[in-house]
Amino acid sequence: MSREELAEEKNPMEDFLRMDRIPHIWCPGCGIGTVVTSFADALKKSELDLDKVAVVSGIGCTGRVAGYVKFDSFHTTHGRAIPFATGLKLANPELKVVVFSGDGDIVGIGGNHLIHAARRNMDIVVICVNNFNYAMTGGQVAATSPMGANLSTAPYGNFEYPFNLPYLVETCGATYVARWTSLHIRRVTKSIQEALAKRGFSFIEVITPCVTLYARRNRLGDGLNLLKYYYDQSEIQHGADTRTVGIDYQGKLIVGKFVDKEKPTFLDGMNTHLQKVLGEKYVPYGVKP
Amino acid sequence: MRKVKADPKGVLTGAHYLDGDFAIAEGGLAAGCRFFAGYPITPSTETAERFSERIPFVGGIFIQMEDEIASITALIGASWGGQKVMTVTSGPGFSLMQENIGLAVMMETPLVIANVQRGGPSTGLPTLTGQSDMMQAKFGSHGDYEIIALSPDSPQECFDLTIKAFNLAETFRVPVFVMTDECVGHMHEKVIIPPADEIEIIERKWYQGPKDKYLPYKPDKDLVPFMVKAGDGYRFHTTGLTHDERGYPVLNAEVQDWCVHHLVDKIRKNAHKIIELQEDQIDNAEVVVVSYGITSRVAIRAVQLARKAGIKVGTMRMITVWPFPEKRIKELAGKIKAFVVPEINLGQIGREVERCAFGQAPVIGVTHCGGWVHDPEDILKAIKEAVR
Ligand SMILES: Cc1ncc(C[n+]2csc(CCOP(=O)(O)OP(=O)(O)O)c2C)c(N)n1
Ligand code: SF4
Ligand SMILES: [Mg+2]
């Protein structure tokens, strides 16, 4: 390549990231950036019209993702990314709506919305970065913190039972459920790609190290150590019974694609049902003529 | 500002016998609302029921969400998806919505919320009337901001003002509240729905310029920025954080000052275009009765009796409660003996009148905690006291 050609060479992430907002706020060694890279890669491979992709985040370190991706992107309130995405998707069914947020946001404060969106089989993709704590606010205990882990508001160790996310969302009706660690870069990418191609409620949990808080407090080494540790501790079990994939402190991590099935979405169900009951008089919604 | 005729699909032209709740749903449909997300709560539920019954024949979405937090947030998302959106609620639900009303304000999102007020605080009086969310409508979310609130006094006005609420929401990119109450919500009266081509609708302030020049929060001449919707290729960002014209978060005092002043100024500086008052016999009045919603209907009786007794009493009915008619109150305060302010709360708007009267005229409140509408005699007593 000539010097001119090199100068014109685009940064490969330029189509996906708001370069005018880089550098980002994440700590060196934080795993969130890796998941964003996988997301961008999945979009590239998906060949979706990027103008029709919308990203919705709540609040948290992960919640900042919406601010960095170069799509129609919405940085909403703590816990409310899913109902926001629900409104956005239903208002403009052409959109591919992706919720990208943290465990505290999606499962803690926003847990009620999560289970209802899964129940309705709302056609959205949820990428949940699980770093086992409320990072943005300083490493407090979360609904995902493993028992025994030390958190700033569980200074003597956590004694509450954590959620098993794949089991939770599968039970509620999700049609695609996967879990990876952020070092499973190719697999995370592939799962996001599959979820993007699917119609229905998709949920991808990505176990991600929080170096600054969770790792330091529990003396789990630096980001790279922990990233590697999660990866090494993981065992791929596609189709595993989600009841068995709960997470113990520093224990084995069952990862893989657990659920991938077809079911009418909220809009499918609404249109089919009302058409059947009301006949000709029903004005179908969001279906291309 | 583009004015168009209403889409006839949503307009149920004719004379109907409707309660206020139903009329709100019809007003929304006539205004072009095609997205309703809500959660049942007395005494507002009938609006949701009516909308869910009608929307399949119009084309749109009714979704019953898991709670009011989800309802308001879904509205914001749907508004950015390009739809006109509304919900309805009452006190407890209104309280749950407050954080995300702030988000709608910050993102400058057009939406309409009807609050069919009941007695509070807490669960209070679910089935009985109140007007005690008037201050919450103005100040309920955290931070400094401005919203618009209207107050209908009849089912007909529930219809008319819901359309007006949509027009204002679209014009100013702001949440607009239709602050009615249980009494009007459940009162059945004749409601005339005009033909679609007689209903004026203001379209969203859509951006038309080149894609790469779009700035979501750059104020236009009227201070209101242009809007786009998701999916049209603008690749815009919006956030609840303090932001600049690009919509990018900038967390410092300087941008905070610009951002908050912008949100406040676009309403305050346009207040004269927003405020609608109905005044009667105010010119030579010694006393002015200031009221809104159902209470202004009850006040009519008291005013009639006072006039019969020879008292020069004028009335001001606030159709718009927020932004508050500060200038007009101030003007009147210099000319009259006193204001009488009846309301179904312990003096929320009375206090505002007092602030604007600035000591030039006393304010006599006629207040109670809700559960019933005023006895006109109590208002009459206050009028008599005012001229004494
Ligand atoms: C209503 C509300 N309550 C609390 C907060 C404070 N808060 C901000 S981020 C956060 C936790 C985020 O945790 P998570 O979603 O796991 O994201 P992470 O930072 O770990 O990526 C909290 C509690 C808030 N912003 N809003
Ligand atoms: S605090 Fe933790 S989660 Fe947040 S950016 Fe730093 S490492 Fe990442
Ligand atoms: Mg977290």
Average pLDDT, rounded, for chain A: 95
What local confidence, expressed as pLDDT, does residue A1 receive? 58
CATH topology of domain B2-203: Rossmann fold (3.40.50)
Give the distance from residue A48's alpha carbon to the nearest chain B alpha carbon, in angstroms.
Answer: 12
Q: What is the pLDDT of residue B140?
A: 98
Q: ipTM > 0.90?
A: yes
B74: nearest CB among A84, A95, A284: A84
Output the CA torsion sign for B285, B288, B293, B294.
negative
B375: helix, strand or coil: coil
Cβ A145 vs Cβ A132: under 8 Å: yes
Confidence class of residue A221 from pLDDT cuts 50, 70 and 90? confident
**C-alpha separations of A84 from A73, A77, A184, A203, B79 in Å:** 11, 9, 29, 16, 10
What mean pLDDT comes out for the span A250-264?
Answer: 97
End-to-end Cα distance, chain B: 50
Each residue of A90-126: pLDDT tens digit? 999 999 999 999 999 999 999 999 999 999 999 999 9
Pocket test for ligand 2, best of A212, A218, A225 (most atoms within 8 A of CB): A212
How far off is chain A from B82, nearest CA to CA, in Å? Answer: 7
Find which of B239, B246, B248 to mutate to test the A interface (most A CBs within 10 Å of its CB). Answer: B239
Give the list of residues 6+ apart from residue B253 with CB closer than 8 angstroms, or none: none
Closest-lying ligand 2 atom to the alpha carbon of residue A26: 5
Question: What are phi and psi for residue A14, nearest 5 degrees?
Answer: -60, -35
Nearest to A85 among B66, B77, B249 (CB): B77
Provide φ and ψ at B344, rounded to 5°. -90, 65
B109 pLDDT band (50/70/90 cuts)? very high
Q: Which two tokens stand for residue B220?
A: 């236009």
Asked if B70 and A83 come within 8 Å (Cβ–Cβ), the reply is yes
- Ligand 1 binding pocket includes A78 (Cβ within 6 Å): yes
State whether A116 and B70 contact (CB < 8 Å): yes
CB crowding B56-90: b at 16 or more within 10 Å, else e = bebebbbbebbbbbbbbbbbbbbbbbbbbbbbbbb
Query: What pLDDT score does A3 carry?
Result: 67
Q: Does residue A143's CB lie within 6 angstroms of at least one atom of ligand 1?
A: no
Backbone dihedral angles phi then psi of residue B96, each to the nearest 5 degrees: -65, -25
- CA distance to partner chain B, nearest, from residue A140 (Å): 22
Nearest to B85 by CA among B204, B183, B197, B185: B204
And the tokens for A92?
């403009």
| Cβ within 8 Å, pair A74-B80 | yes
For range A129-152, the mean pLDDT: 98
Strand order in the sheet with B338-343: B277-280, B313-318, B287-291, B338-343, B363-367
Domains B2-203 and B278-386 share a fold: yes
**Using one digit for the tens of pLDDT, what is the confidence trace for B265-297?**
999 999 999 999 999 999 999 999 999 999 999
The structural architecture, per CATH, of the domain B278-386 is 3-Layer(aba) Sandwich (3.40)
Q: What architecture is domain A17-262?
A: 3-Layer(aba) Sandwich (3.40)
User: What is the domain partition of chain B in residue ranges?
Assistant: 2-203, 278-386
Token digits of residue B68? 């009011």
Burial class (CB in 10 A: 0-12, 13-18, 19+), A279: exposed
By CB atoms closer than 10 A (0-12, 13-18, 19+), residue A36 is buried
Distance separating alpha carbons of residues B296 and B319, to the nearest angstrom: 10
Note the ligand closest to the C-alpha atom of A214.
Answer: 2
What sections of chain B are H helices per DSSP?
A: 20-31, 45-54, 68-80, 91-107, 134-139, 155-172, 182-185, 253-268, 271-274, 294-308, 326-333, 348-357, 376-387
Residue A15, pLDDT above cutoff 90 = no
